[in-house]
Amino acid sequence: MDFELETDPALAAAVLEVEQHHAAAGWDQPAKLYALVDTAELVEREPALARMLGLDTPRERGSITPIEQEELAADQELEAFLPTISWPDDVVGCAAVVERLVLPPAADGQIPDDPTAAAEFASEHPDRQEVRIVAGVTRHGASYCALRLRAHDDDLSVMGGADLVPSLLALLRATLEDEETP
């Protein structure tokens, strides 16, 4: 029987926190990757850090704290980098931020097969939209995405949902899977 997990409020809050952080930094930012950790465990393991970040209050119990990872190399695409990583067990999830161009469905049959030509086609298309995507997943199977269009760059226009960017969510989920032993 197939069923859809309800939205995990802690994951949604963490994804929206990351989105707000990137919104404050503006557009044209490089892709970023975040480890998501259980805030209570962070408080227990790193009490001084937790106090400094204001995470040691009871209201933080049950929440997830995003921890920004080192920047990717300038020439590395996030989607190519994700299959090369895995997270330690104390990471409960991960999130990624990318900016992309999206085209209307009518452009589907017109996109060239060559990646360089396709990128040029997208950047010159009159109906292109720039979008910032923040996608997050947990080891428990929850997912959440937040999307912000550059053309509607305000907090009230941020769209959210559990499965808005399935291909990116699948790549993120794969980083959390245990390596199989031979």
Which pLDDT score, from 0 to 100, does residue 51 have? 76
Confidence of residue 179 (pLDDT cuts 50, 70, 90): low
Answer whether residue 69 is part of any domain: yes
Question: Is residue 58 one of the residues assigned to a domain?
Answer: no
What's the number of domains the chain is made of?
Answer: 1
Domain assignment of residue 52, yes or no:
no
Alpha-carbon distance 43 to 61, whole Å? 9
- Distance (Å, whole) CA 38 – CA 140: 13
* Distance in angstroms (rounded) separating the CA atoms of residues 131 and 6: 25
> Which of these, 142, 147, 132, 130, lies nearest to 172 by C-alpha position?
142
E strands present in the chain: 32-38, 64-68, 93-102, 129-138, 143-149, 159-161
pLDDT of residue 178: 72
Q: Which domain holds residue 102?
A: 9-37+63-176
The residue-averaged pLDDT of 96-123 equals 82
Spatial strand order of the sheet with 129-138 comes to 64-68, 32-38, 93-102, 129-138, 143-149, 159-161
In a domain, 4, yes or no: no
For residue range 50-70, what is the model confidence (pLDDT) as tens digits?
777 776 665 556 789 999 999
**What digits encode the pLDDT tens for the residues 110-145?**
888 887 887 787 778 888 889 999 999 999 999 999
pLDDT of residue 14: 96
pLDDT of residue 89: 92
At 167 the pLDDT is: 94
- The pTM for the full model equals 0.84
pLDDT at 2: 41
In whole angstroms, give the CA distance from residue 137 to residue 127.
31
Query: Is residue 91, in this structure, part of any structural domain at all?
Result: yes
**88: CB partners within 8 A, 6+ apart:** none
Q: What is the DSSP letter of 164?
A: S
pLDDT at residue 181, as a whole number: 39
What pLDDT score was predicted for residue 3?
A: 41
Give the SS3 label for residue 138: strand
Classify residue 42: in a domain, yes or no: no
In tens, the pLDDT along 68-81 reads 999 888 888 899 99
Q: Report if residue 68 sits inside a domain.
A: yes
Report if residue 86 sits inside a domain: yes
Q: Are 101 and 26 in contact (CB under 8 A)?
A: no
Over range 142-169, report the average pLDDT: 95
